[in-house]
A and B are shown apart, each in its own frame.
Chain A
């Protein structure tokens, strides 16, 4: 995966957090992981990608980050339902925004949200994924890109 491709998703993360009331987001250096050990926090929103690119993009974050993120976008109801909704919406927004670079053939699915263990995230074994670390407030989260062209 090229640096330019990764930059599209880095820009998407930064753009998302800049639309909240607490804009001070930092993105760490992306790194590669084997797909038998995917990165995951408490709650994960996964977007399936099809078309010329195939694979998935997911946003994963601890529950406490998502609660504060809800408050930061003006949502006072931090119920579990809204935490799941938000993690899916962040993944959807970052993936959808990538179409400004990849075009309309970069097809994205509706989000699938999961909670808990990383072993629930099934990634293609023959591929590796890039992890983009995200630092917001005192919390860590990640965007994970698993794509082949």
Chain B
């Protein structure tokens, strides 16, 4: 079972991702509403997988990805964002994310994206 941290400024999206991952594949160990809280929670819980929103207050997702990858180069990060342009996706991947899922998403799309992420 892989440990998972959810980062999104929307509580309903955090809860949706948590519900989708109510399986024996993932165990949610932390949830954060912005990049600053995510960094602190990462240091405390050391999750193996992170889902990351991009547009957030305090610290956005791209800055957060850079800091998380500096702490753990092997971290598997799935970006889940409404920002659907190619440049944003490519930028996130260059910063260290390993996958990109566009909002809105279905439960099946999320599970498929997380499965691909962890099978690399």
Contacts and interface: CB of A to CB of B under 8 A. Distances in A.
A16 B102 CA distance: 11
B16 A93 contact: no
A77 B12 CA distance: 9
Contact of A82 (B9, B11, B103): B11
A82 B12 CA distance: 7
Interface of B: 9-13, 15-16, 19, 55-57, 81-85, 87-88, 91, 102-107
B82 to A, nearest CB: 3
Interface in A77-129: 77, 81-82, 85-86, 88-89, 92-97, 99-100, 102-104, 106, 108-110
A92 B12 contact: no
A102 B87 CA distance: 11
A70 interface: yes
B84 A100 contact: yes
A96 B12 contact: no
Given A75-B12, A85-B11, A88-B10, A99 B105 contact: no
Nearest to B14: A85
